C-alpha cells in the first residue's frame, strides 16, 4: 500500500514538474515573442520617425549632408556606438565628418576613415582622393585609448546610381550591433536614397524646363553666385556679349563687359542691399541695353532672406532708342519742311500787301502762284502725316474704283521726266499692254508710284537709270521701280519700311519726313498686296509691289478719259 | 564557377559594408556554408538558387548597391534559367522571390 502511495506521489510530482516546465517554457517563449515584437515595433517606429524627419528636413533640397545629419542625430535611439562617421560627396570632393561618443584615439578615426574610403572606391572605382580634412565633433579624443573599431558597418547612400555618401557606425566593443539594428539602418538609407533619387529626377526635369524657358528668352539672362561665378547663361546673353557658346567661363563674361561698367561692384551692391539695381542705358558694343541686376533668394530659407546669387537681365533697347532718335529727327525735319514754305508764303504775301513799288498783274499772279504752290506743298506734307497716323491707328482706308494702272504709271513717270533730265538720269517705262483694268485706289496708288520714283531719283547718281515696269501675274499685277543707285546696306534694309526712316543717298541735300515707304507699305497692304525689296550696295535697288486684281471682269474702261486720269490726285511731293 | 563568383562577391561586400553585416547576411543564405573569414566552403543544392538567394539577401539591404556591385553574379543568372526555379513546392515562395529579384534588378 505504502509502495502504491509512493509511486502515485512520485508520478504526481513528475507530472506537475513536467507541466510546470511546459508552462515555464511557454511563458519564456511568450516573453521572448513579446520582446521581439516590441523590438520590431521600436525599429519600425524608428524607421518611420527617421523618414519623416528626413522628408521634413530636406524639403526640396538635395543636400545630402542634411539627410546624414538626421540619421546621425537620431542614431542613439537605435543603437549604442562609439563613433558615427560620414563621407559625403560635395562639389566633387569627399568631406569626412565624425561624431565621437566614446573618447577614442586619432588612430581609431584614421582606421575608420580609410575603411570608409575603401568602401567608397569599391563601389565607384573612380580617382577620388582621400579627404585630408576631418571634421571631428562630440567627445574629446584620447590618444591613450588604444581601443580599435572592433565592430563597424558602412551604409552607402546611393542616389540615381551614384554613391553620394557612406555612413559608418562603429564601436570599440566586439559584435556590438545586431543584424536587426543594422538592417533597420540599411532600410532607412534605402528609403532615403529612393526619396532623394525621386527628388533629383523631379528637380532635373524642372531644371530642364527652366533652362528651356530661359534659353527661349529674347532678352539676355545670366546668373552668378555670391562669389561672382557664372552659373547660368542663355544663348541671347552669349550673343549680346559675344562670348563662346560652349561652356563660357566667368572670365569670358567679365572680359565681355566694359571695365567702366564695374560689374562686380554692382553685383555686391545687389547682394548687400538685397534689392534690384536697374541700369537704364548701357552700351555694349553696337547695342544699347537696359540692365536689371536682381538678387536671387533661397526659397528654402523662410526666416531670413538669404541671397544665393544674382540674375542679370539684358534687355536690348537699341531699336527703341533708334526709333526715339528717328522721332526726334522727324520733328526737326518737319519743322524744316513746314518752315520753308511758310517763310516763302509770308514773304510773298507781304510783298503783295506792302509792295516796294507798283506790281504788274503778271508779277502779282507769279507771287500768288508761288504762294499756292507752297501751300499745296504744306498740305501734301500734312496729308502724309495724317495717313501715317491713320495707318498706325488702324484707321487708314482706301477708296477702290475701277481704274487703269497703265495710264496712271505712265502719267507719273512723265511727271518725273523733267527732274530726271536735269540730273541726267534716264527713265525707262516698261508696261505690259495686257495689264487689265481693275479696282484700286488711284489717289493712294498714285502716291505709292510717286514715292518710289521720287526715292529712286534721290538715290541715283547722274548717268544712272530708273526703270518702271508693270506686268500681270496670276490674280495680280506686279509693279516694280528699279534704279542703278547707291543701294541699301543689308543691316538697314529691315528699317526701310518703318516710320521715320531716312537713308542717306546720292542726293545729300534732300531731306524728307521718312514716312514715304511706311505709307507705301500701308497702302499696298490695304489693297491686299505685298511690298518686296531687293537691294545691293553699289548696284541699285528694286522695290516692287503687287496688287490683287479686284473685280477685274466687271471693270470696263469708261469712254473718254480713263478713271485714273480723272481721279488721280495731282503729283504729290512724296520724298523720304 | 559559382563558388568563385560568390567568394569574390562576399569579399567585395566585406569591403563595402563591413565584415559583421556581410557574414550575418551570408549565413542566412540557404545552401551556403562559409568559414569565419567569409570564404565559401560548400554550396548545397542548385548553385543558381543559392546565388539567387544570396542576391536577394543583399537586395534587402540596398537594391542599387546590388545593381552597382554584383554584376558578375547577376550576369551569371541572366537570362532567368528555368533550372533556377526550384521544383519542390516547399520552396515556392523562394522561387517567386527569385523571379522578382531578376526583374527588379
In contact, A552 and A500? CB cutoff 8 Å: no
Shortest Cα distance from A135 to chain B (angstroms)?
Answer: 22
What phi, psi does A17 have (nearest 5°)? Answer: -60, -45
In the predicted model, what is the mean pLDDT of residues A527-538?
92
Do the Cβ atoms of A153 and B15 come within 8 Å? Answer: no
Measured between beta carbons, which residues in chain B are less than 8 angstroms from residue A163? 68
Kindly determine whether residue B21 and residue A182, on different chains, have CB atoms separated by under 8 Å.
yes
- Residues in chain A closer than 8 A to B16 (CB atoms): 119, 122-123, 154, 156
Asked if A550 contacts A433 with a C-beta cutoff of 8 angstroms, the reply is no
Spatial distance between the Cα atoms of A185 and A35, rounded to a whole number of angstroms: 20
pLDDT at A92: 81
Q: Grid coordinates in use for A274?
A: 538685397
Same fold, A56-207 and A217-316: yes
Q: What is the mean pLDDT of residues A500-522?
A: 66
Out of A104-113, A172-181, A507-516, A546-555, pick the least confident.
A507-516
In this prediction, residue A504 carries a pLDDT of 53
User: Could you tell me if residue B29 is inside a domain?
Assistant: yes
Q: Give the minimum alpha-carbon distance from B20 to chain A in angstroms, rounded to a whole number.
A: 7
Distance CA A471, CA B92 (A): 90
Beta-bridged to residue A430, according to DSSP, are A469
Please identify which residue in the block is written with the cell numbers 482706308.
A397
CB contact under 8 Å between A119 and B21, yes or no, is no
Nearest Cα to A114, choosing from A74, A152, A158? A152
Q: What is the pLDDT of residue B94?
A: 37
The verdict on residue B92 lying in a domain is no
pLDDT exceeds 50 at position A456: yes
Residue A509 has what pLDDT?
46
Of A153, A161, A183, the CB nearest to B18: A153
Task: Summarize the confidence of residues A92-108 as an average pLDDT.
Answer: 91
Nearest to B62 among A119, A168, A186 (CB): A186
Q: Tell me, what's the pLDDT at A110? A: 92
Q: Count how many domains chain B has.
A: 1
- Evaluate if residue B96 carries a pLDDT over 70: no
- A501 band by pLDDT with thresholds 50, 70 and 90: low
Q: Which of A174, A186, A191 to mutate to test binding with chain B, by most B CBs within 10 Å of its CB?
A: A186
- pLDDT category, A574, cuts 50, 70, 90? very low
**A122 lies within 8 A of chain B by CB:** yes
Q: Which phi and psi (to 5°) does residue A366 adopt?
A: -60, -45
Q: Is domain A217-316 annotated with CATH 3.40.50.10420?
A: no
Chain A residues within 8 A of B24 when measuring between CB atoms = 179, 182
The domain spans of chain A are 56-207, 217-316, 321-393, 401-567
The ipTM estimated for the assembled molecules is: 0.76
> Per the domain annotation, does B66 fall within a domain?
yes
Q: Which residue of A has its CA nearest to B9?
A: A122
As its CATH architecture, domain A321-393 has Orthogonal Bundle (1.10)
Calculate how close chain B gets to A194, using CA atoms only, in Å: 9
Identify whether B96 is part of a domain.
no
Inspect the interface and report whether the beta carbons of A119 and B17 lie closer than 8 Å: yes
> Mean pLDDT over residues A341-350, rounded?
87
Q: What is the mean pLDDT of chain A?
A: 83
Instruction: State pTM to two decimals.
Output: 0.52
The boundaries of the domain holding residue B22 are 2-79
Q: Does B27 touch chain A (CB under 8 A)?
A: no
How many helices and strands, by DSSP H and E, does chain A display?
14, 17
Given 1.10.645.10, 3.40.50.300, 3.30.565.10, 3.30.530.20, which CATH number is that of A401-567?
3.30.565.10
The CATH class for the domain spanning A56-207 reads alpha beta
Rg (C-alpha) for chain A, rounded Å, is 46
Amino acid at each position: 500500500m505504502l509502495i502504491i502511495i509512493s509511486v502515485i506521489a512520485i508520478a504526481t510530482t513528475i507530472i506537475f514538474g513536467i507541466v510546470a516546465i511546459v508552462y515555464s517554457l511557454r511563458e519564456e517563449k511568450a516573453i521572448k515573442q513579446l520582446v521581439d515584437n516590441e523590438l520590431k515595433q521600436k525599429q519600425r517606429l524608428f524607421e518611420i520617425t527617421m523618414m519623416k524627419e528626413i522628408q521634413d528636413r530636406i524639403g526640396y533640397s538635395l543636400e545630402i549632408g542634411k539627410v546624414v545629419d538626421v540619421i546621425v542625430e537620431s542614431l542613439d535611439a537605435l543603437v549604442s556606438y562609439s563613433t558615427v562617421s560620414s563621407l559625403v560627396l560635395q562639389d566633387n570632393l569627399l568631406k569626412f565628418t565624425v561624431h565621437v561618443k566614446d573618447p577614442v584615439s586619432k588612430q581609431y578615426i584614421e582606421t575608420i576613415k580609410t575603411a570608409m574610403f575603401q568602401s567608397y572606391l569599391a563601389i565607384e572605382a573612380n580617382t577620388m582622393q582621400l579627404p585630408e580634412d576631418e571634421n571631428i565633433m562630440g567627445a574629446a579624443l584620447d590618444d591613450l585609448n588604444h581601443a580599435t573599431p572592433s565592430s563597424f558597418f558602412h551604409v552607402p547612400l546611393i542616389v540615381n546610381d551614384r554613391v553620394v555618401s557612406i555612413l559608418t557606425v562603429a564601436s570599440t566593443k566586439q559584435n556590438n550591433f545586431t543584424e536587426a539594428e543594422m538592417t533597420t539602418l540599411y532600410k532607412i538609407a534605402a528609403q532615403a536614397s529612393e526619396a532623394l533619387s525621386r527628388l533629383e529626377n523631379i528637380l532635373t526635369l524642372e531644371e530642364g524646363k527652366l533652362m528651356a524657358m530661359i534659353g527661349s528668352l529674347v532678352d539676355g539672362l545670366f546668373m552668378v553666385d555670391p562669389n561672382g561665378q557664372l552659373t547660368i547663361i542663355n544663348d541671347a546673353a552669349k550673343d549680346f556679349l559675344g562670348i563662346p557658346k560652349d561652356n563660357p567661363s566667368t572670365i569670358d563674361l567679365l572680359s565681355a563687359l566694359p571695365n567702366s561698367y564695374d560689374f562686380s561692384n554692382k553685383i555686391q551692391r545687389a547682394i548687400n542691399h538685397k534689392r534690384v539695381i536697374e541700369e537704364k542705358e548701357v552700351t555694349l558694343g553696337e547695342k544699347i541695353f537696359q540692365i536689371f541686376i536682381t538678387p536671387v533668394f533661397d526659397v528654402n530659407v523662410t526666416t531670413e532672406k538669404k541671397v544665393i546669387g544674382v540674375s542679370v537681365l539684358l534687355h536690348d533697347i537699341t531699336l527703341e532708342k533708334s526709333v526715339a532718335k528717328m522721332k526726334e529727327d522727324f520733328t526737326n525735319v518737319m519743322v524744316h519742311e513746314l518752315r520753308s514754305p511758310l517763310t516763302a508764303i509770308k514773304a510773298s504775301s507781304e510783298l503783295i500787301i506792302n509792295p516796294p513799288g507798283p506790281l504788274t498783274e503778271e508779277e502779282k499772279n507769279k507771287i500768288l502762284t508761288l504762294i499756292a504752290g507752297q501751300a499745296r506743298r504744306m498740305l501734301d506734307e500734312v496729308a502724309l502725316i495724317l495717313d501715317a497716323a491713320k495707318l498706325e491707328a488702324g484707321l487708314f482706308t482706301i477708296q477702290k474704283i475701277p481704274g487703269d494702272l497703265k495710264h496712271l504709271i505712265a502719267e507719273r513717270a512723265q511727271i518725273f521726266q523733267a527732274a530726271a533730265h536735269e540730273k541726267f538720269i534716264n527713265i525707262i517705262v516698261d508696261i505690259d499692254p495686257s495689264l487689265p483694268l481693275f479696282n484700286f485706289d488711284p489717289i493712294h496708288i498714285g502716291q505709292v508710284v510717286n514715292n518710289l520714283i521720287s526715292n529712286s531719283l534721290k538715290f541715283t547718281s547722274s548717268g544712272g537709270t530708273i526703270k518702271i515696269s508693270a506686268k500681270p501675274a496670276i490674280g495680280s499685277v506686279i509693279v516694280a521701280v528699279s534704279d542703278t543707285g547707291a543701294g541699301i546696306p543689308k543691316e538697314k534694309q529691315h528699317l526701310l519700311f518703318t516710320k521715320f526712316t531716312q537713308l542717306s543717298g546720292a542726293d545729300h541735300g534732300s531731306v524728307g519726313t521718312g514716312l514715304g515707304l511706311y505709307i507705301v507699305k500701308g497702302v499696298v497692304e490695304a489693297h491686299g498686296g505685298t511690298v518686296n525689296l531687293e537691294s545691293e550696295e553699289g548696284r541699285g535697288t528694286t522695290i516692287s509691289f503687287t496688287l490683287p486684281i479686284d473685280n477685274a471682269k466687271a471693270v470696263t474702261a469708261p469712254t473718254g478719259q480713263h478713271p485714273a486720269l480723272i481721279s488721280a490726285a495731282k503729283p504729290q511731293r512724296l520724298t523720304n | 564557377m559559382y563558388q568563385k563568383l560568390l567568394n569574390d562577391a562576399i569579399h567585395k561586400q566585406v569591403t563595402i559594408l563591413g565584415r559583421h553585416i556581410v557574414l550575418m547576411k551570408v549565413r542566412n543564405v540557404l545552401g551556403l556554408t562559409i568559414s569565419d573569414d567569409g570564404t565559401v566552403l560548400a554550396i548545397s543544392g542548385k548553385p543558381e538558387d543559392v546565388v539567387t538567394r544570396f542576391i536577394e539577401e543583399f537586395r534587402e539591404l540596398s537594391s542599387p548597391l546590388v545593381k552597382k556591385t554584383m554584376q558578375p553574379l547577376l550576369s551569371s543568372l541572366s537570362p532567368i534559367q528555368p533550372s533556377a526555379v526550384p521544383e519542390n513546392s516547399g520552396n515556392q515562395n523562394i522561387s517567386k522571390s527569385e523571379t522578382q529579384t531578376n526583374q527588379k534588378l
